[in-house]
Amino acid sequence: MPSPGAPAPPRLPIEDSYLELLADTLEGLDISARGQFLQRYFRTITHLDLGEAQCVQLWDEMLTRRRELSSHMERQISLKTALMDVLASTGLFRVPILIEYDELKKLQVNAVTDPLTGLYNRRLFSEVFEKELNRARRYGSPLGLVILDLHRFKEVNDQHGHPRGDEVLRAAAITLKRALRTSDSAFRIGGDEFALLLPQTDAAQALALSRRVGTVFGESIAHFQMGVSVSMDHGVATFPQDGDQSDQLIRVADERLYRLKHGKTPTSGSRTELPSSPAHEPTLPAPSDRQSTASRPIPFESKRPPEKAETTIAGAASTTASEISSPQTLSVPPPARIYSVPRKAERVSMSGTNAYAVLGDQGIRRARVLDLGFGGVALELESQEEIPESILAILHVPILPPVRVNLKPVWFQRTQQGAYRIGCAFVS
């Protein structure tokens, strides 16, 4: 019993306390009971089936080793240290786990992740590509592969330094992450090279997504003011049209990327014909509904004033012809007109997305966004209310940040469900 005033001995860690209690308890048991208990104990910590006599021998060796180490170190050695030493020296504890679980998971993530961008690395790209190909073969579904790189990226490093180049790479990674569905995967496979794997995505849809990503990326780095026009070039290949092996698809995508970088219109070869006319470009579905039919998007967050031909009532009405069942539903009939300025892009359908618009200064009314384009947007309201000649709205659509716009209603239509659709032109 410690004398009064003597310092209290330091408290042992819970593992050491448990082993000390175990040692005291085992001393009071006979050999048979001690062997049965130790057999189960060593099975738990070593995952080996040892005999009872061998387990008793190991325990006695551990007690002896503790006395030897304590005498040599001139301080009390814990039972845990002695037990680890005996198990390691006898070869029973070949791969000791000496790391916290959270640290182990962190190491596993770091092994397959690019530290700069947070995207998956090339090592995981090869593994995932083979798994997705096998799944596509099994279910007979298409698989899109997109290879991207940053055009004139070397000039950024040369003129502005590698820190600014790193910012550009991170901006590219953020753009890719926001553009993809949960089933898609983005990878950094080289210095300024990236890859996308798009399950259940055909050639037209993969190409449309690539163009949208390039457009949004250009807008996201505009505020860097580098003086170097960095763009994101792409090459697309699809299974099974362009090949059924990973190396074939990568080669096809690389070839199309090379042709695009050298100023040539990328074609899809003899097996996959993609339209190259700007008026018939493939559609870009929303990330959550890529199977829906839409048209090539172009960014409207750049705050550029729309061209004159696009702000006319006829222009806004004609771009939403898919929403009109008959000419009599228009409050303003669109006259026939030939535009002097060609259309920048077709309409983008927002069907299947959660795109919406907040209307008015107070933001108390909401409308669903049906589609949008360079010249205007189509909205749907639950009930008919007085609509002013000019509407202030904030648009919330996938990938893009919220955009504040001024709208001018140009046509109205009532649906069979009783809702009201409004075609609006952007007003600069």
- The confidence band for 410, taking pLDDT boundaries of 50, 70 and 90, is confident
Please report the pLDDT score of residue 96 as a whole number. Answer: 52
Name the least confident of 9-13, 107-111, 290-294, 409-413.
Answer: 290-294
- The confidence band for 83, taking pLDDT boundaries of 50, 70 and 90, is confident
Which of 185, 180, 186, 178 lies closest to 288 in space, CA to CA?
180
Please report the pLDDT score of residue 345 as a whole number. Answer: 45
10 pLDDT above the threshold of 70: no
What does each C-alpha distance from 59 to 13, 54, 90 come to in angstroms? 20, 9, 12
Distance of CA 342 to the CA centre of its chain: 35
What does each C-alpha distance from 200 to 64, 204, 237 come to in angstroms? 65, 12, 13
Average pLDDT, the chain: 75
Do the domains 308-427 and 109-280 match in fold? no
Q: Does domain 308-427 have CATH number 2.40.10.430?
A: yes
pLDDT, greater one: 130 or 280: 130
425 pLDDT above the threshold of 70: yes
Please report the pLDDT score of residue 364 as a whole number. Answer: 73
Please report the pLDDT score of residue 94 as a whole number. Answer: 57
**Rg of the chain over CA atoms, in angstroms?**
33
Please report the pLDDT score of residue 170 as a whole number. Answer: 93
**pLDDT (mean) for 208-222:** 88
Name the least confident of 152-166, 181-195, 295-309.
Answer: 295-309
Ranges of beta strands (E only) in 154-211 are 185-188, 193-199
Question: Which token pair is 15?
Answer: 């593992």
Please report the pLDDT score of residue 230 as a whole number. Answer: 87
319 pLDDT above the threshold of 70: no
37 pLDDT above the threshold of 80: yes
Domain chopping of the chain, boundaries = 14-89, 109-280, 308-427
Q: Find the farthest-apart pair of alpha carbons in the chain and give their distance in angstroms, rounded.
A: 107
* Residue range 47-75, pLDDT digits in tens: 778 888 888 998 898 889 888 888 887 88
Percentage, residues of the chain above pLDDT 70: 73
d(CA 321, CA 378): 10
424 pLDDT above the threshold of 60: yes
pLDDT, greater one: 311 or 121: 121
Question: Residue 380: CB partners within 8 Å, gap ≥ 6?
Answer: 367, 368, 370, 415, 419, 420, 421, 422
**pLDDT (mean) for 116-122:** 91
Q: Which residue is it, tokens 């042992």? A: 12
pLDDT, greater one: 383 or 237: 237
Please report the pLDDT score of residue 146 as a whole number. Answer: 95
d(CA 378, CA 275): 26
281 pLDDT above the threshold of 50: no
Percentage, residues of the chain above pLDDT 90: 18
Name residue 188's amino acid: R
d(CA 77, CA 112): 40
pTM above 0.85, yes or no: no
**pLDDT (mean) for 270-297:** 39
401 pLDDT above the threshold of 80: no
76 pLDDT above the threshold of 50: yes
Name residue 425's amino acid: A
Q: What's the per-residue H, E or C state across 261-321?
A: HCCCCCCCCCCCCCCCCHHHCCCCCECCECCCCCCCCCCCCCCCCCCHHHHCHHHHHHCCH
The number of residues in the chain equals 428
Superfamily per CATH, domain 109-280: Reverse transcriptase/Diguanylate cyclase domain (3.30.70.270)
Query: Helices 14-27 and 31-46: crossing angle, nearest 10°?
Result: 150
Name the least confident of 178-182, 292-296, 376-380.
Answer: 292-296
Tell me: cis bond preceding 9? Omega within 30 of 0 counts.
no
324 pLDDT above the threshold of 60: no
d(CA 71, CA 89): 19
Please report the pLDDT score of residue 229 as a whole number. Answer: 84
* Residue range 238-271, pLDDT digits in tens: 999 998 899 999 999 999 998 888 774 444 333 3
**pLDDT (mean) for 277-292:** 41
d(CA 288, CA 320): 22
378 pLDDT above the threshold of 50: yes
d(CA 404, CA 395): 6
295 pLDDT above the threshold of 70: no
- The confidence band for 101, taking pLDDT boundaries of 50, 70 and 90, is low
* Residue range 163-197, pLDDT digits in tens: 999 999 999 999 999 888 888 999 999 889 999 99
